[in-house]
A and B are shown apart, each in its own frame.
Chain A
Amino acid sequence: MELLLQLCLSFIQVGMFSVGGGYAAIPLIQDQIVNRHGLMTMAEFSDLITVAEMTPGPISINSSTFVGMRLAGVGGVLLCTFGCILPSFIICFILAHFYYKYRTVGGVQVVLGALRPAVVAMIGSAGLSILLLGLFQSDLFHVSLANLRVVELGIFIASLYILRKFKVSAVLVILGSGVVGTICYLLPGLVNMA
């Protein structure tokens, strides 16, 4: 019981102080779970990061689930995740309330207007890093044409064409690219085996 309470409190802190989302949460989780309370070893933690990168969902939810499951089963999962989202739930609920109350006010519109181009730029920037990771398996500073992966390039162009041309749902395109791409990579192997 004491362990559960400690877990919940730890993840409340992770949820409260991980501003900027995603990777900003990793050092916080490490500090709470590995360094301070010794609930996981560093090796387990790096496994967790690997798994979290391979699976959908925010990294703090992934880790709260992982830690909760390993230490206290399903009850642990529920409690850790609850702790993790509680602060942001309260804060965002209040922010949403004020946003919808005042967003039509002229002055607020001017200020929000200045934020929008930056948000577009940041989405673009996140997209570019995923694109480079997909096509070259590297970041912006280590791109070399020799590492271009042709299958991924083909999938990117085809997906973008389908998205622009037809009204296909994004989820379908992502899952489809996974299936088609895997088949493309496995086909030569299957031919060799035969």
Chain B
Amino acid sequence: MKLDAKKLFILFKSMFMLSACTFGGGFVIVSLMKKKYVEELHWLEEDEMLDVTAITQSAPGPLPVNASVIIGYKMFGFVGSLVAVLGTILPPMIIISLISLCYDQFRTNPYIAIALQVMRAGVAAVIADVVINLAGNVLKTRRFLYIAMMVVAFFSTCVLGVSAMVVILCCLAIGLLDLAWSVGKNKLKTKGKGCA
């Protein structure tokens, strides 16, 4: 892994910009990261980004920080992780430090309230754009199991309020069963051949 200063700076800058604009929770930054690192920079594959999301959701700590550790690691190892995390935590640190000095004015300012409310529509549009692409690709697998899992997971998080952690654990179990099933089938075909 050769350290490319220019790419390292791009990593820092992009994490900084994404972090400065993520209103509304971890999955928002995942959508933004997917657009940036998969579609724009081609640093990650789409499947990889989804795997990273599942890992970050299962690990403790803030999702954006976790995701930047992994993406940074992939690009430049330990240094990459450090740089990416720095880019992610600096904007909220700077913004909150400033606001903590005058947070009453900030909280009650009507213009800020309006801007934040309308920005939600923009954030929702970004997520919608990303989800249309991602869901399209799940449909393209034409695997009933995956499509059904997507629908059930959506329904259970959205309507039933099941936590993301539980959904991921259930899907992990289904994935393991799926693996056992396919290993079992292979064993019947090529008898005796071991499979990890």
Interface positions of A (Cβ within 8 A of B): 15-25, 47, 50-52, 54-62, 65-66, 69-70, 74, 77, 81, 84-85, 87-89, 91-93, 95-97, 99-100, 103, 105, 107, 110-131, 133-135, 137, 140, 151-153, 155-157, 159-160, 163-164, 167, 169-171, 173-182, 184-186
Contact = CB atoms under 8 A, between A and B. Distances in A.
Given A17-B60, A21-B66, A110-B175, 16 more contacts: A50-B107, A51-B103, A51-B107, A54-B106, A55-B99, A77-B93, A88-B62, A91-B59, A96-B55, A117-B171, A120-B138, A122-B153, A123-B53, A130-B28, A177-B119, A186-B114
28 contacts: A19-B60, A19-B165, A22-B26, A24-B163, A25-B62, A55-B23, A57-B96, A85-B62, A89-B69, A91-B61, A92-B70, A96-B81, A117-B171, A119-B53, A121-B151, A122-B157, A124-B135, A124-B154, A127-B131, A129-B158, A152-B117, A159-B121, A167-B39, A169-B35, A174-B126, A178-B115, A178-B118, A181-B117
Contacts of A116: 47, 50-51, 54, 138, 146
Nearest to A16: B60
A181 B157 contact: no
Interface of B: 17-28, 30-32, 35-36, 39-40, 47-48, 50-66, 69-70, 73-74, 78, 81, 85, 89, 91-93, 95-97, 99-101, 103, 106-107, 111-132, 134-135, 138, 145-147, 149-154, 157-159, 163-165, 167-168, 170-172, 174-176, 178-179, 182-183, 195-196
Main secondary structure of the interface of B (DSSP, over half): helix
A122 B50 CA distance: 11
Contacts of A88: 59-62, 65-66, 69
Given A121-B151, A121-B157, A115 B121 contact: no
Contacts of A151: 118
Given A20-B163, A57-B22, A97-B73, A119 B54 contact: yes
A66 B96 contact: yes
B35 to A, nearest CB: 5
B167 A118 contact: yes
B32 A170 contact: yes
Contact of B92 (A20, A65, A119): A65
Nearest to B129: A163
Contacts of B163: 20, 24
Nearest to A180: B118
Contacts of A130: 24-25, 28, 120, 123-124, 127
A156 B124 contact: yes
Contacts of A65: 92-93, 96-97, 100
B18 A111 contact: no
Contact of B63 (A17, A21, A121, A127): A21
A163 B40 CA distance: 13
